[in-house]
Amino acid sequence: MKEFRRMKGVWIILVALVLALSAYVTTTAAGEKTAADFVKEAKANITEITVAEAKAKIDSGAPVKVLDVRTEKGFKRGHLPKAINIPRGLLEFKVASKIPNKDDYIITYCKSGGRSALATHTLKQMGYKNAVSMAGGWKAWMKAGYPVE
């Protein structure tokens, strides 16, 4: 009987170890991030403005840089007035030559708002203090009926 109780305790410990190990493996695999996770994280660390706020800022005459982070092909199909194009994949390499002043007010946008959130987060990490992302992106701008080039 004592032998059985001792073995029962060993089995309980083994089962507990297996469960703990499987929880660790699950947590490690679950720790991988999706694109949506990266966007959510970026949005938590940046400022987003509406298309109406972006249009008002552009129309105000205040100095503003409008940065389209879509592909060149998307940019050529149409873009916000006075926008410059730096595809998100090239942002870190080209932004300093196109926007050298890290104090400039920058409105970033993409097709729907995900890439621009990521780009704005990157700009902030690079020291651009006044970068914001336009929520809804190109789609929201078009839906609002605002002018394009």
Catalytic (active site) residue 110:
yes
Helix (H, G, I), strand (E, B) or coil at 26: helix
Nearest to 121 by CA among 112, 131, 135, 113: 131
Which residues in 16-149 belong to E strands, given as ranges?
Answer: 48-49, 65-68, 83-85, 105-109, 130-134
| Contact in structure between 120 and 39 (CB atoms under 8 Å) | no
Spatial separation of the C-alpha atoms in residues 42 and 97, rounded to whole Å = 24
Name 149's Cβ contacts closer than 8 Å, sequence gap at least 6. Answer: 78, 79, 80, 81, 82, 83
Catalytic residue among 110, 117, 135, 140: 110
Spatial separation of the C-alpha atoms in residues 34 and 72, rounded to whole Å = 25
Which residues are the active-site residues? 110
